[in-house]
Amino acid sequence: MVQHVVRHRTHRHDADGFSLIELIMVVLIIAILIAVGVPTFLGSRKPAEDRQAQTLLRTSLAAAKTGAADTGDYAWVSPAAIAAEETSVRYLAAGAHARATLRQVSVDSGSFSGDTYVIFSSMAGNSGECFALLSLASGATQYQAVAAPSCTAGSFVPGVGWNPSW
């Protein structure tokens, strides 16, 4: 006697793919992630732009101090002279508006209370925050951060409004 093996195929009545509810849930989850992520991303942009401007100013100060080591003061500082010391930054005159996003720094130098000084300034991104750094040849470095439409080193006065940090 021959035994017949009968195989039963199970028929799937469900259609392949995702149901409408599953697709809506996936879209909803993605929308929630975007809603949480975008403000976080945008909120971290301003501090990064501020830090970029501050770093450019500190780099500029290091170049100025290198040159001052030879002369003992900042009388030699000009946009062209400092550019010879630090080539990664574009140095502008004291009255020129400098933007950190373009790697620009405005430079002013002179004499104050019998000491030479240098002031560097640069605007941070689109925030409207102008950062400035003042260094006296025989004194400590001082800082300012002001909301201003323009950011020029010549607009800062050596004896007014400086702080020990930003």
Q: What is the DSSP letter of 163?
A: B
Distances (CA, A) of 114 to 17, 51, 65: 81, 32, 18
Q: How confident is the model at residue 48 (pLDDT cuts 50, 70, 90)?
A: confident
Q: Which residue has the higher pLDDT, 27 or 12?
A: 27
SS3 50: helix
User: What does the pLDDT look like over 90-137, one tens digit per residue?
Assistant: 999 999 999 999 999 999 999 998 999 999 999 998 778 999 999 999
* Structural domain spans, the chain: 20-155
Six-digit token string for 60:
């500029």
Q: What is the mean pLDDT of residues 143-164?
A: 94
Residue-level pLDDT at 15: 60
> Of 93, 109, 94, 99, nearest to 56 (Cα)?
99
Give the span between the Cα atoms of 166 and 164, in whole angstroms: 7
One-letter amino acid for residue 103 of the chain: R
Tell whether the model's pLDDT for residue 1 goes beyond 60.
no
Quote the percentage of the chain above a pLDDT of 70.
91
Rg of the chain in Å (alpha carbons): 30
